[in-house]
Amino acid sequence: MVKIFLFLGMVMMCGASALLKDLKCDGGAPEVSTSWLDMQDNCTQEMRRQIQMEVDASYAYLAMASYFSRDEVNMPGFAHTFFHSASEERSHALALIEYLLMRGPGNVDQKLTDGLIKTPQQEKLEWTNGLEALQDALETEVKVTKSIRKVIQAC
């Protein structure tokens, strides 16, 4: 019984593909209005800077999470907190990238690795204790918050 259904399904798929191969859509490139592409350059630049700031913060939190995940450190609560923070910062960067792409191709006209995002350099890879890491995390959050305020002012 199952073999019959499989056979009939294959026959139907072959028939459908034969019918669809002759259908082609060749309407040319559509004309799209660009009147809504009105983002100011200073706003775009601030958003690009903010994206980099969010990526840098994500890397910093990943370094912290990795440190506290080590066997010799073994602080899973801190590791979990910093993994979560890294994910949150990365999602902020992605949301800003999606927004720039939604606003038009001119806002993200270069390859991401060439112009929009540069590989962060995480200098600090070890912490004396959890308090030191939390203080560094607070400093990171203050920088990111001040930076997003600049984006708000520019846009």
pLDDT one-digit tens code per residue, 3-29: 665 555 555 555 555 555 666 666 677
Six token digits for residue 75: 């602080």
Q: Is residue 30 part of a domain?
A: no
Cα–Cα dist 10/127, whole Å: 62
pLDDT at 108: 56
Q: Is residue 150 part of a domain?
A: yes
Task: State how many domains the chain has.
Answer: 1
Q: Is residue 5 part of a domain?
A: no
Q: Is residue 122 part of a domain?
A: yes
- pLDDT category, 112, cuts 50, 70, 90? very low
Q: Is residue 115 part of a domain?
A: yes
pLDDT at 3: 60
Residue 127, C-beta contacts closer than 8 angstroms, at least 6 positions apart: 64, 67, 133, 136
Q: Is residue 27 part of a domain?
A: no
Domain carrying residue 49 = 38-154
- Identify whether the C-beta of residue 89 lies closer than 8 Å to the C-beta of residue 62: no
Distance of CA 24 to the CA centre of its chain: 35
Domain CATH number, residue 150: 1.20.1260.10
Cα end-to-end distance, the chain, whole Å? 65
Q: Is residue 23 part of a domain?
A: no
Q: Is residue 3 part of a domain?
A: no
